[in-house]
Amino acid sequence: MIFSRLFFIYFFLPLCLAVYALVKGTDKKNTVLIVFSLIFYAWGEPLYVFLMLFSAVVNYSAGILLNTLRGQKAGTVIAASAVIYDLLMLGIFKYSGFIAENINALFSCSLPVPDIRLPIGISFYTFQTISYIIDVQWETVKPQQSFKKFLLYITLFPQLVAGPIVRYSTIEKEIDSRSVSAEDIAYGFNRLILGLSKKVLLANQLSIIVDGTLGAIGSSSFVGAWFGAAAYALQIYFDFSGYSDIAIGLGRLFGFHFNENFDHPFICRDITEFWQRWHISLSTFFRDYLLYVPIFGKRRKYGGLFLVWLCTGIWHGASWNFIIWGIYYGLFVFFEMKLGKKRVKKVPAVIRHIYSKIVIVIGFGIFYFEDLSKLGRFFRTIFGFGGNGFIAIRDKITFVNNVNLILAALICTFPLIAGMKKLAARSGGARCVLSASAALVSAALLVITSIMLVDATTNPFLYFRF
């Protein structure tokens, strides 16, 4: 099921909220959420829902055994086995075809290439189970004794299929006890509608520009390629941050407080800061669980950094362009690390902004092209060797026809809402006005997005495929 469908907005969600409000007690409310979450997932994945359930059983059992065998070698074996199982399932369903293809190409073999459909959300819920097992092993959290509560953590539909990656410690207490205030309801609906608007009004419209530029890279001009890559960076941002907004808003409606996943990444001044603001749940996952992993018996600062960025690329997909993309960003983070924070800050802010945006735009160009021959064409074009000139007439027409969309997208990359909240905090009387205005704007946005979704055929979130 997709959040940006009228069926979800006007049937599934209202029904879930109504049943949730009618039942009393946290235990019964948890049951309602589990049932609706399983229906939500099975709606699009009727068979793979059993894979997710089995993963929940394996990791729940491992957590219980870890607690029983605390301090014993067998406990470490159990933890390692659970993590290996999680990675093995992810590897089979996500990377087996990619591995077979490359073995065939490298060794001139003829291994059968598996054609396995990727279960939606497997990358996200697998990382949640891995983080849970490691945290239990490290005694950061206590193992959940109730399978029902653990199942809720794994299947909770607001963040199930495209994140953010919610750690067990974040919602551990709220699984047992939570409440929903009028303020939570208002915030939840406003955040949900904001995310929906990002997806429908910005990301979906930007995709048209991307398809006409990067999608036709063979005939794109120098300006067209840069314009397309910049549009794609914005599309990815509004698509994925929009999903995260919806997830956070939905979580709040049910009393859960998920951590932020994006913090206006395009206002960054360097690439290190960009990754402190972009897909925060993934970057912090690798930082906490992978960066300091011993390599050949020792913790190696730069070796760990390389491993993190290699895995960041691999996590995003079974294609060489994602590996190149991860290493590409890793090299810039390494460069900034070697340069040092003090030296980086001495560089004029304007230059740092220009540098970071060029790196980011090229990075998303790499992210777009899974076909390496087209990726090579993209590189030739953005560096002026594409052979299609500096700018084409269609690029001018595309820009003129979409100038309002581009301006709106650029404006929305800034922390406007945070700025308005700070302004309201300074004058208490303005707070009521701001709340009323937010409600009116949200209502208007909901109407507009609903109208645009009436004729929409399919508009899945881009991160569903990861």
Question: Catalytic residue positions?
Answer: 316
Residue among 33, 464, 448 nearest 242 (CA): 464
Number of neighbouring beta carbons within 10 Å of residue 60: 24
Q: Point out which residues pair with 295 in neighbouring strands.
A: 298
Contact 19, 32 (CB under 8 A): yes
Q: Can you read off the two tokens belonging to residue 391?
A: 């700018």
Q: Which amino acid is at 185?
A: I
Q: Point out which residues pair with 298 in neighbouring strands.
A: 295
